[in-house]
Chains A and B, each alone.
Chain A
């Protein structure tokens, strides 16, 4: 603090434990939050431009490169868009296998975030390494759970990172029933561990914070939406994925190389586990729902810090779903349905671990991509993160700088921002007078 001006500036070079890189600038004057800016400055990825002129069948493998944590989300959304353009519907075991590999991605991503990135915030450790010194068994449990998710993705995707087995129309190879059965014991163990994780995280001390969120997620009539559904919100939105542009807009922000996606009119909204939980509670699998009630989560939750518990509930759901799919699986005769390109423009959308991943493509009669638009989940949450920080800082302006900084970082991690998806790198600058 400067004695002359009474100005205090806190600067953190970069925010650790988020996926990727970015920066945050916060300006506080006399207890009033004047400015909150999420700054993104990694060079743009130009993926949308890479895709132009490529064949429609290449989109899944190209877009999976956008993110090493949630490649399935990118593959699934692009595949869905292409199949919708070409008038193809994939159902039965092939559809089940897609949900199964997506469950694997949810398990590995959620567990990584809960154990390695977010739990240290709640338990007062600077990182997972320090936490492991006091809680080695807990960290071992997390690592084993994550490995289970990796095994699922590896078996179905060909490899655990940037899987290569999914294609427009289905898969290149579908597994034998006996291959899937080998995953069962570890999934059962992980399911039990996920219940323990929900109990463990529910015991954390959560900052008293709630906000009046507009939650946006996919909704499916029969299941907790992962691979497909309609876009809904708690404020009356109910539209097809093709109508996304009528209800949402991407805004260029000078400080950022990623676009901020907001509702038409400029209001922020939240995507991700908390949004899904609030909108689709009734479609949770049985053990996920009862565990949520047992740990006191309730059917509505507006405290973003409790997203860590919701991630545990969704991990239970992913394990239950995976076991159900494995048990009913009968290997299809063909690994994929035939797809023939035709001209058109459609969207695809699926629930990445951190929220909806929306793609739109236009292809010509030969199947060459003319236009591509990809809206990753973190670019949709950015403005909402800023709003959360604005409210938190206003409510806790009296906290010492180090505590305030800790709280800000913890609040950002509520969203599990996948900054490599939405093009950024995070630094925190807190400028307080």
Chain B
């Protein structure tokens, strides 16, 4: 079977410190092209995410989270297999969070066949473009890992 090219979405505001982790991963991935993957950055609410992933069979979303874990911790969720904990992906002032977008999409029957969410634990969400050190490290680690996966087999294996 020919794998579908994945859509990678980086969620967050690149001007709010670690909230820019998602866009930072996407920008790193763009440099390598990742075997035809499509890339989007999204700083808007969950409704915009629903529109972005609509019709895509395979989607990877990267967002900053604030769950209490050590800064730089990577969280991974397979949306088809599990409910996304609402305490994740809910930091920003988005009216309609990523977790709510996933559950809304599930309810409406528009969830991509495969939707993988990566949460990068942040610590500093103040103004400015600077990522904190552990987050920067995690961003590079995740980008390398996703590059390998998406380039070699279209992402058909977990990272």
A17 to B45, CA, bound (A): 12
Chain B count of residues within 8 A CB distance of the other chain: 20
| Interface status of A160 (Cβ within 8 A of chain B) | yes
A419 to B95, CA, bound (A): 11
- B15 (CB) vs chain A CBs: closest residue: A65
A128 to B108, CA, bound (A): 12
- By the criterion CB–CB under 8 Å, are A18 and B107 in contact? no
Contacts of B45 in A (CB 8 A): 68-69, 112, 116
A240 to B123, CA, bound (A): 46
- B126 (CB) vs chain A CBs: closest residue: A43
A129 to B95, CA, bound (A): 13
Contacts of A147 in B (CB 8 A): 51
Knowing A68-B44, A136-B108 touch, does A116 contact B95 (C-beta < 8 A)?
yes
Q: How far is the CB of A381 from chain B (nearest CB, A)?
A: 17
Knowing A19-B95, A116-B95, A127-B100 touch, does A136 contact B47 (C-beta < 8 A)?
no
- By the criterion CB–CB under 8 Å, are A17 and B108 in contact? no
Instruction: Enumerate B39-90 residues with CB–CB distance to A below 8 Å.
Output: 42-45, 47-48, 50-51
Knowing A127-B100, A129-B100 touch, does A117 contact B95 (C-beta < 8 A)?
yes
- By the criterion CB–CB under 8 Å, are A17 and B48 in contact? no
- By the criterion CB–CB under 8 Å, are A139 and B93 in contact? no
Mask: chain A, 123-152; 1 = CB below 8 Å from B; 0 = not = 000011100110010011001001100100
Contacts of A129 in B (CB 8 A): 100, 103-104, 107
Q: How far is the CB of A134 from chain B (nearest CB, A)?
A: 10
Knowing A143-B47, A147-B51 touch, does A420 contact B100 (C-beta < 8 A)?
no
Knowing A20-B93, A68-B44 touch, does A136 contact B100 (C-beta < 8 A)?
no
Knowing A68-B44, A129-B100, A129-B103 touch, does A143 contact B50 (C-beta < 8 A)?
yes
- By the criterion CB–CB under 8 Å, are B47 and A419 in contact? no
A112 to B109, CA, bound (A): 20
Contacts of B109 in A (CB 8 A): 136
Q: How far is the CB of B34 from chain A (nearest CB, A)?
A: 21
Q: How large is the interface on A (under 10, 10 to 19, 20 to 34, 35 or more residues)?
A: 20 to 34
A117 to B100, CA, bound (A): 13
Q: How far is the CB of A154 from chain B (nearest CB, A)?
A: 10
Instruction: Enumerate B2-57 residues with CB–CB distance to A below 8 Å.
Output: 13, 15, 42-45, 47-48, 50-51
Contacts of A68 in B (CB 8 A): 13, 43-45, 93-94
A147 to B15, CA, bound (A): 25
Q: How far is the CB of B144 from chain A (nearest CB, A)?
A: 27
A128 to B94, CA, bound (A): 14
Which residue of B48, B103, B107 is within 8 Å of A136 (Cβ)? B107
Counting chain B CB atoms within 10 Å of each CB, the highest count among A21, A133, A143 belongs to A143
- By the criterion CB–CB under 8 Å, are B43 and A139 in contact? no
Contacts of B13 in A (CB 8 A): 68
| Interface status of A239 (Cβ within 8 A of chain B) | no
Which residue of A17, A65, A140, A161 is within 8 Å of B95 (Cβ)? A17
Q: How far is the CB of A328 from chain B (nearest CB, A)?
A: 29
Q: How far is the CB of A142 from chain B (nearest CB, A)?
A: 8
Contacts of B44 in A (CB 8 A): 68, 160-161
Contacts of A21 in B (CB 8 A): 93
Q: How far is the CB of B76 from chain A (nearest CB, A)?
A: 23
A146 to B49, CA, bound (A): 12
Q: How far is the CB of B39 from chain A (nearest CB, A)?
A: 13
| Interface status of A384 (Cβ within 8 A of chain B) | no
A73 to B46, CA, bound (A): 21
Knowing A68-B44, A161-B43 touch, does A112 contact B95 (C-beta < 8 A)?
yes
Instruction: Enumerate A93-141 residues with CB–CB distance to B below 8 Å.
Output: 112, 116-117, 127-129, 132-133, 136, 139-140
- By the criterion CB–CB under 8 Å, are A150 and B107 in contact? no
- By the criterion CB–CB under 8 Å, are A162 and B43 in contact? yes
Q: How far is the CB of B125 from chain A (nearest CB, A)?
A: 11
A132 to B50, CA, bound (A): 13
Q: Can you give 8 A-B contacts (C-beta < 8 A)?
A: A17-B95, A65-B15, A68-B44, A68-B94, A116-B47, A132-B107, A161-B42, A162-B43
B contacts, CB < 8 Å to A: 13, 15, 42-45, 47-48, 50-51, 93-96, 100, 103-104, 107-109
Q: List 4 A-B pairs, minimum CB-CB distance, nearest first.
A: A420-B93, A20-B93, A161-B44, A132-B107
| Extra contacts besides A68-B43, A419-B93 (8): CB < 8 Å | A65-B15, A68-B45, A112-B45, A116-B95, A128-B96, A139-B104, A146-B47, A161-B43
